[in-house]
Amino acid sequence: MPADVTYHMQRARSRIVNCDVLLLAVATSCKHHVSMPHVLVRDVPDDVHAALQRKAEHHHQSLQQYLTVELRHLAERRSISEVLDEVEVQHGGQVGFAAAVTDLDEERSQR
């Protein structure tokens, strides 16, 4: 094969490889923006921002990484009302005043 044809084929291959890498990078970055919603918090007091920044550094994370973990924990934590609602759904939630007083008196007498 002539040298000039070999040269052009190698250049074409390198462009294809570079194009594939570029497309992969674009697809990855686009996927990131499509799959992850953004949260913007305005008017954070300086002392709060500084405290969060210190905590992030203590955990060897960026502020964004630290806040993502903390927001996940906050979202996963159930409130008292959510727990009580779940108990009511699972167990009927109907005790009645007389039964509650009787149960409470019985519990107190066992102490």
Q: What is the pLDDT of residues 50-105, one digit of tens each?
A: 999 999 999 999 999 999 999 999 999 988 888 888 877 777 656 777 887 888 88
Residue-level pLDDT at 111: 74
Please report whether residue 14 resides in a domain.
Answer: yes
Question: What is the mean predicted confidence (pLDDT) over 31-53?
Answer: 86
Question: Could you give the number of structural domains in the chain?
Answer: 1
pTM confidence score: 0.48
Please report whether residue 8 resides in a domain.
Answer: yes
Please report whether residue 25 resides in a domain.
Answer: yes
Residue-level pLDDT at 32: 53
Distance of CA 86 to the CA centre of its chain: 24
d(CA 21, CA 8): 20
**Token pair in block for residue 33:** 């923006």
Q: Where are the beta strands (DSSP E) in 1-111?
A: none
Please report whether residue 15 resides in a domain.
Answer: yes
Please report whether residue 6 resides in a domain.
Answer: yes
H/E segment holding residue 3: helix 3-35
Distance of CA 88 to the CA centre of its chain: 29
